[in-house]
């Protein structure tokens, strides 16, 4: 800590600098005299000095990487030990098309797979369901059965690659497909690694691809925690996601507060079931956005680690691993522009660098053409090469937490933590996360932030290069990915063939057992796995649970 008399001296020196130097310099550029604010509407000073961090209690002992409070990272050696996992989010059309993209990415140096599913799959519908028509493969791959999952990972050894799957409402069922596929490959459950997103609370808050009401949804999530700990020890059974909260229009502080609040709610639900926090907490993971404000994003990740470690200790965690916040990062899709799409390469590079300097464990870099279409091979290769250049050429991996101790970074980290706890208090006064969702609190907060951001853009108070400044009269054209239009037809034929050739009696027996278990209180994962192994489809399995649990209908809040 800085001594008080030294603080006084620093204050006097700063005041003299502002009077003698800064105020005179700024007169030359009066248009730059406005207040500067980051994307969380936090006012940023013109300069940060030791005076700004003198009263920050945690700076008595910033600590070291790999030690509490994990401000500087959960691993002592970070990228000097191993680089982050380069995991490009990919999925489109049929399982066969997406499998080809996975092989392409792996051949070009990707080190982990990440599956994007189409909307029918996200909502638990088979491709031949009436509500699925017209949505096949548009925003991800269509997976209706174990057969599709087998095609998706054909030729990819599941004991040698980790896979992340962005799936929420039907997460337990899709995870069962992955486990069953591994077993069919001869790979035991104990050897597979990866992550299911499985974060339903943020669906109610932001993305809206929910199926069941909150209570049975939380039951399914805790079922995966319990089953994973006992049977699939290398699997992260949830990726608590701020990414979609940010994409919906939240600020960085809201993303941080709402994500960690959701995470605490999951921990409490599992403990209420009787699970030991030190059994399941080490397999919890997080997923954050990397937006445009470089230092704000870095401070967000650092604050997240410290807050999470503190809150886990409050809940009774004893193991150091239970205090770790491990997170994946994806660059901000909402920041990409259809105008001058090549400029998105620059945005993504800046965002990815912030994630790396913030200590991410894995990273996806968006492709330049994603504001226009699903990414082409060239665009996705450039996005992957962006990570590889940062890793191999920039020098930022040479030392651990290179920005630790920065006056600005440490002040901003503390400020974001302070603002996060203010949100925790608001949610607590509303009765907790689920009551706050039902009252529309999160939704209103995000909507107001999104409106403010758009208004600032429309009024040219916030500059978006190529959109409201530095525009071109004629936009450059880039190649756009064309999907196989016959994919949906093939998928529907495959479903018809599957239903004809499988053991229908066995399928119905397993579905009936699942129904009975859902009406009780048993862990549903073994029953879901039996259904999947018998080649019951995603839609058939979800329909059983829909009949028992019902479907969630959001109430109008505005």
Contact criterion met (CB below 8 Å) for 339 and 295: no
Burial of residue 163 (number of CB atoms within 10 Å: 0-12, 13-18, 19+): buried
Give alpha helix (H) positions in 18-118: 23-26, 50-53, 78-81, 95-107
Contact 437, 445 (CB under 8 A): no
* DSSP helix/strand/coil, 89: strand
Q: What is the mean pLDDT of residues 397-411?
A: 94
Q: What is the pLDDT of residues 430-445, one digit of tens each?
A: 999 999 999 999 999 9
Higher pLDDT, 138 or 291: 291
Distance CA 412, CA 16 (A): 24
Q: How high is the pLDDT of residue 52? A: 87
Pick 59-458's CATH classification: 3.30.70.20, 2.30.22.10, 3.40.228.10, 3.20.20.240.
3.20.20.240
Given a cut of 90, whether residue 14 has pLDDT beyond it is: no
Residue 482's pLDDT is 80
Q: Is the peptide bond before 69 cis (omega within 30 degrees of 0)?
A: yes
pLDDT tens-digit series, residues 448-468 = 999 999 999 999 999 999 999
Neighbours of 407 (CB within 10 A): 16
Among 120-129, 144-153, 477-486, which stretch is predicted with the lowest mean pLDDT?
Answer: 477-486
pLDDT tens for residues 24-40?
A: 888 887 777 678 999 99
Q: What is the pLDDT of residue 5?
A: 62
For the chain, counts of helices (H) and of strands (E): 24, 12
β-bridge partners, 238: 284
User: What radius of gyration do the chain's Cα atoms show?
Assistant: 24
What is the pLDDT at residue 248?
97
Whether residue 384 contacts residue 366, with contact meaning beta carbons closer than 8 Å, is answered with no
Q: What is the pLDDT of residue 50?
A: 86
pLDDT above 90 for 483? no
Q: What are the structural domain ranges in the chain?
A: 59-458, 498-549
Token pair of 447 as six digits = 């909507």
Q: What is the pLDDT of residues 504-549, one digit of tens each?
A: 999 999 999 999 999 999 999 999 999 999 999 999 999 999 999 9
pLDDT value for 60: 55
């Amino acid at each position: 800590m800085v001594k008080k008399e030294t603080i006084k001296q620093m204050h006097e020196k700063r005041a003299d600098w502002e009077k003698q130097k800064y105020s005179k310099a700024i007169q030359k550029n009066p248009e730059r005299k406005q207040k500067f604010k980051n994307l969380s509407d936090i006012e940023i000073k013109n300069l940060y000095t030791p005076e700004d961090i003198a009263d920050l209690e945690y700076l008595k002992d910033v600590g070291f990487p790999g030690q509490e409070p994990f401000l500087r990272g959960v691993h002592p050696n970070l990228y000097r030990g191993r680089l982050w996992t380069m995991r490009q989010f990919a999925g489109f059309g049929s399982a066969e098309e997406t499998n080809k993209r996975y092989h392409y990415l792996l051949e070009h140096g990707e080190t982990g797979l990440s599956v994007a599913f189409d909307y029918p799959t996200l909502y638990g519908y088979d491709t031949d369901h009436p509500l699925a028509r017209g949505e096949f493969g548009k925003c991800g791959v269509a997976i209706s059965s174990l057969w599709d999952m087998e095609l998706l990972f054909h030729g990819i050894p599941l004991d040698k690659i980790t896979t992340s799957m962005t799936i929420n409402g039907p997460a337990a069922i899709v995870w069962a497909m992955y486990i069953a596929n591994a077993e069919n490959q001869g790979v035991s459950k104990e050897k597979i690694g990866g992550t299911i997103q499985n974060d339903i609370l943020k669906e109610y808050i932001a993305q809206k691809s929910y199926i069941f009401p909150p209570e049975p949804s939380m039951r399914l999530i805790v079922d995966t925690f319990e089953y994973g700990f006992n049977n699939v020890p290398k699997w992260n059974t949830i990726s608590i996601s701020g990414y979609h909260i940010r994409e919906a229009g939240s600020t960085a502080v809201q993303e941080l507060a709402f994500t960690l609040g959701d995470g605490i709610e999951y921990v409490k639900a599992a403990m209420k079931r009787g699970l030991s926090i030190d059994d399941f907490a080490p397999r919890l993971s997080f997923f954050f956005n990397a937006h445009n404000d470089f230092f704000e994003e870095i401070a967000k990740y650092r604050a997240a680690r410290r807050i999470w470690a503190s809150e886990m200790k409050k809940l009774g965690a004893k193991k150091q691993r239970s205090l770790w916040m491990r997170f994946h990062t994806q660059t901000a899709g909402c920041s990409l522009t259809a105008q001058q799409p090549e400029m998105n390469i620059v945005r993504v590079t800046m965002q990815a660098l912030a994630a790396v300097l913030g200590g991410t464990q894995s990273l996806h870099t968006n492709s330049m053409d994603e504001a226009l279409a699903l990414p082409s091979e060239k665009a996705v290769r450039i996005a992957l090469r962006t990570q590889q250049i940062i890793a191999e050429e920039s020098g930022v991996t040479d030392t651990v937490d290179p920005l630790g101790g920065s006056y600005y970074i440490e002040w901003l980290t503390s400020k974001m933590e302070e603002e996060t706890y203010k949100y925790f208090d608001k949610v607590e006064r509303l009765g907790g996360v689920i009551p706050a969702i039902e009252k529309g609190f999160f939704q209103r907060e995000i909507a107001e932030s999104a409106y403010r951001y758009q208004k600032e853009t429309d009024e040219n108070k916030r500059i978006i290069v190529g959109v409201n400044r530095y525009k071109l009269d004629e936009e450059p054209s880039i190649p756009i990915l064309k999907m196989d239009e016959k994919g949906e037809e093939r998928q529907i034929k495959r479903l018809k063939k599957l239903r004809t050739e499988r053991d229908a009696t066995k399928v119905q027996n397993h579905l009936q057992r699942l129904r009975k278990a859902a009406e009780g209180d048993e862990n549903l994962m073994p029953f879901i796995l039996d259904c999947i192994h018998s080649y019951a489809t995603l839609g058939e399995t979800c329909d059983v649970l829909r009949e028992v649990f019902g479907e969630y209908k959001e109430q109008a809040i505005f």
